[in-house]
Amino acid sequence: MRLCETLGTLSVSDDSLLVDRSMIPVFALRLIFGMSLTWCVMAREKVTSGFYRIQMLVTLGLAVLATLTLSHLNRPEGPVIATTVLYYWVIAIAGGSFLGSVMWTLERRAAGVRYAWGVWAGAALGLFLAVRGQSSLVPLPLEMASQLSAGWLIGGAISTMLLGHWHLTATGMPLEPLLQLNRLLLVAVVMRTVLLGVVLGTHFPESMATTHWIWLGLRIAGLIGPAILILMVFRILRYRNTQSATGVLYALDILIFLGEATAALLSLDLHLPF
């Protein structure tokens, strides 16, 4: 428990700040899950190794951030969520990301792919351990489905945008991987929208303040807007204009992050996965 006590010094006395900061490690684990899932399912052989090396360094930084903020998952009146097991598990994700980046640097692609799958599986389990003790009005399977779909959406959006940016330097790469990620991102938006519909259809809050209705509108806009921009990217890539497509993907990422941030605020107030 010495590790928990040392890292737990980041806790604050204000309960509201504690609740707000509890979103940080969950958000970081979502990003790791979504980014690593993207590497695992995309056409890796058509993308240069440098892309994966940088991606795994990004997840390394996210894992370190999650480790330093895990203590905020604990509530004064609730169970201890940030257990020693969870701390070491997230540290293992960081270690796997670092070793994976080394493998991609050395052009050992098969080993790099194995580490990518390991990071993905580790992030999925870490996310489960991080949210299982949180207060929610829906069954745990539906909560986890929402968490994983959110991770796929935000992580997939970041990886797709970075791949578009990578095309600006590695101009000889084919467009198929970028088109594939754009298609998968559209699937992620649809899945996230369906799960939101399931939650609202089965557990619609009995009463919501005006602020909640505004947030819900922003949350829905954070799904519709990205869907429109994804279709725009498809049309732009018909002309092989990766620079313009990357610019649209930047805007898409902003909309998705705004939507997910609003969803997190709604979840904190209403105890439902939005």
Compute CA distances 76 → 4, 5, 10, 19, 162, whole Å.
Answer: 15, 15, 15, 10, 39
Same-domain status, 57 and 76: yes
Domain boundary among 91, 110, 134: 134
CA 18 to chain centre: 21
- For residue 226, the enclosing domain spans 138-274
Where do we find the tokens 């590790």? 3
**The pTM is what?**
0.87
Instruction: Examine the domain organization and report whether 153 and 124 are in the same domain.
Output: no
Residues 174 and 89 in one domain: no
Whether residue 86 sits in one domain with residue 152: no
Same domain, 127 and 178: no
Helices 84-105 and 49-69 pack at an angle, to 10 degrees, of 160
Tens digit of pLDDT per residue, the chain (274 long)?
Answer: 444 444 344 333 344 444 467 788 889 999 999 999 999 999 888 899 999 999 999 999 999 999 998 887 776 655 556 677 888 999 999 999 999 999 999 999 999 999 999 999 999 999 998 887 677 788 888 889 999 999 999 999 999 999 999 988 887 888 999 999 999 999 999 999 999 999 888 888 877 888 889 999 999 999 999 999 999 999 999 988 888 999 999 999 999 999 999 998 888 888 888 8
Half-sphere exposure of 14 (CA within 13 A, CB side): 4
pLDDT for 115: 96
The pLDDT value given to residue 3? 42
Domain at 148, CATH number: 1.20.120
What domain count does the chain have? 2
Q: Given 134, 168, 201, which residue is the final one in a domain?
A: 134
Residue 31: per-residue pLDDT: 95
**pLDDT score of 195:** 92
- Domain finish residue from 106, 134, 162: 134
